[in-house]
Amino acid sequence: MLEITKPESEESQSGAARVFTFFRDRLLSGDLKAGDRLLAERELAQALNVSRPVLREALRSLAMLGLVDIQHGRGTFVRSADASVLGQALTLCLAPEPTILDDVLQARIAIECQAIRVACERASERDLQVIASTLDKLVSSLDDPERGGEADYAFHLAIVRASGSRSLMKIYEAISPLLMRSHIERRRDTFREPAITSGLVDAHRGVFLSLARRDPDAAERDLRDHFAIGDNLRRRNLISAYEPKRKRS
């Protein structure tokens, strides 16, 4: 039976925080794994020095995040984390921020630039074929912001998957709702500008070719150049929105 030691800072933690800390620490240590059943409610509440109502509420919160499965009459079981559920929670936390899409883009750059370097070493032929197919879809959807945004997201997602890094993949999936929105909004801003859409295809093709050649420095450089296109677009849009006002004043 799993031995439970109480957190050193128990006095400063709320009951719910003690439950979350216990669950997190046991996952990190490997004492708890997907499929394991937690102690019975009475035993767990006593061991963590929390009331049973507090324990139930904390477990319900973990269940809503997809981290545990509460089966009445059988017990509470550990589940593999569902990135889509965690992503919804993260999106709700970040959504009120006024510059959230710009901020998430910075996280995306950090994740993808590392992912593509690792993918240059680890990507299988199957991974490259998947990325190539998403590139084909991207080219065929330049005049449709919705389909184009989805194809753009799929291309970058396939690169992160090709890295074979579960950590990078989980983090990327967690912010996927915001990433998808960003891709679609950027396409709405550009799909009527042939010069930009043409450059978009060339940029993606260059990223793919550098990855296929397994050149991490070139792949990261091409990827950063691709991100710079979006930065330049937003800067131009901002200038065009305010320039007429300056001329009239």
Above 80 in pLDDT, residue 245? no
Report how far residue 78's alpha carbon sits from residue 126's, in angstroms, rounded to the nearest whole number: 32
Which pLDDT belongs to residue 200? 84
Residue pLDDT, tens place only, 23-38: 999 998 989 999 999 9
Contact 176, 76 (CB under 8 A): no
Residue pLDDT, tens place only, 108-118: 999 999 999 99
Residue pLDDT, tens place only, 88-126: 777 777 767 767 777 888 889 999 999 999 999 999 999
Q: What is the dihedral of CA 205, 210, 214, 218, to 10 degrees?
A: -150
Above 60 in pLDDT, residue 54? yes
Domains recognised in the chain with CATH numbers = 10-78 (1.10.10.10), 85-248 (1.20.120.530)
Angle, nearest 10°, between helix axes 83-94 and 176-190? 70
Which pLDDT belongs to residue 103? 81
Q: What is the pTM of this model?
A: 0.71
Mean pLDDT of 208-235: 88
* Average pLDDT score, the chain: 84
